[in-house]
Structure 1
Amino acid sequence: MNTMEKLHNLNISEEDTYRICRNGTETIDHLFFACPYSRKVMVIVGDWLGLLLPYQDLMEWRLRITGSKMKQGIINATINACLYHIWNQRNRSRIELSLLRPNLLALQIIEEMRRRVSAGLTAPVKNMDRSFIQSITGGEGG
């Protein structure tokens, strides 16, 4: 039994149908990977990172990450940001009965990550990372 089913069975969650898309049981896999809303967010953000998405699960995302430690760190942080923001939208849809459109949420995630990456560039970027950093920040890349 997954976490969402447990919440439903304990009457913490009043329904087990996923509220965002109303198209499936609210499970972790559905929330982050099968839901059309989440898939659209992931595809837009993945395109920004230069990844071919969507993958079917988080492990597949993480296993496909290649490149330097810097690039892997940025992609992992971006995946975590996607999961965090999708979870927040899930909660917002339940509490406030409102939801950002997936393309707007993806743009918010991209802007947040651009700021985080730019702020984290305190040393010159290695040549192998320069084009990746330039592509995601729109800047010089150190």
Structure 2
Amino acid sequence: MHGRLLTRVRLARMKQEQETSCLLCGDHEETTKHLFFECVYAQKCMLEIQQWLGVTMQKTSLQSIWGRLARSATGKIRRAFLWAVRRSDLWDMENKN
């Protein structure tokens, strides 16, 4: 994610946007972490991906789900999930205050 995604929070910091709430759910500020891991819409998308892959699991955090999907997937899908999990972990480390 490299801090390049132009979320509404980031656009507001650059004075390009005034509203910072998530366009998808409207409940929280639109940050990268929110868009990929906390947004209700993102959670629904993850459930669809689980169903598409035929993976069933109990409801937990989306980052935990990413990890489980990465372990159960193979080939290109596995590499894509592993990359996403690593990027989200790095983002968390870089953005913790």
Q: Aligning the two structures, in what range does the TM-score lie when normalised by the shorter sequence?
A: 0.5 to 0.7
CA RMSD, aligned part only?
3.2
Aligned to 1:73: 76
Instruction: Return structure 1 stretches of 4+ with deviation > 3 angstroms.
Output: 75-80
Q: Distance in 2 between matches of 1:79 and 1:40?
A: 20
Q: How is 1:31-110 mapped onto 2 (pairs within 5 angstroms)?
A: 31-51=35-55, 52=57, 55-57=61-63, 61=66, 63-64=67-68, 65-66=70-71, 71-77=74-80
Within 2, Cα distance between the matches of 1:46 and 1:76? 16
Select 1:10's aligned residue among 7, 10, 14. 14
What is the TM-score normalised by the length of structure 1?
0.41
Give the share of equivalent positions with the same residue, in percent: 27
Residue type at the aligned position of 1:56? L
Question: SS at 1:66's partner residue?
Answer: helix
User: For 1:14, what is the secondary structure of its paired residue?
Assistant: coil
CA shift in 2, pair 1:43/1:67, >3 Å: closer
Q: Give the Å deviation of 1:33.
A: 1.7
Aligned length: 75
Q: Which residue of 2 aligns with 1:139?
A: none
Cα pair distance change 1:74/1:31, threshold 3 Å: same
SS at match of 1:18: coil
Unmatched runs of 5 consecutive residues or more in structure 1: 81-142
Structure-2-length-normalised TM-score? 0.55
| Amino acid aligned to 2:54 | G
Distance 1:67 1:73, change over 3 A: same
Gaps of 5+ in 2: 84-97
Q: Which has the larger radius of gyration?
A: 1
Alignment-derived partner of residue 20 in structure 1: 24
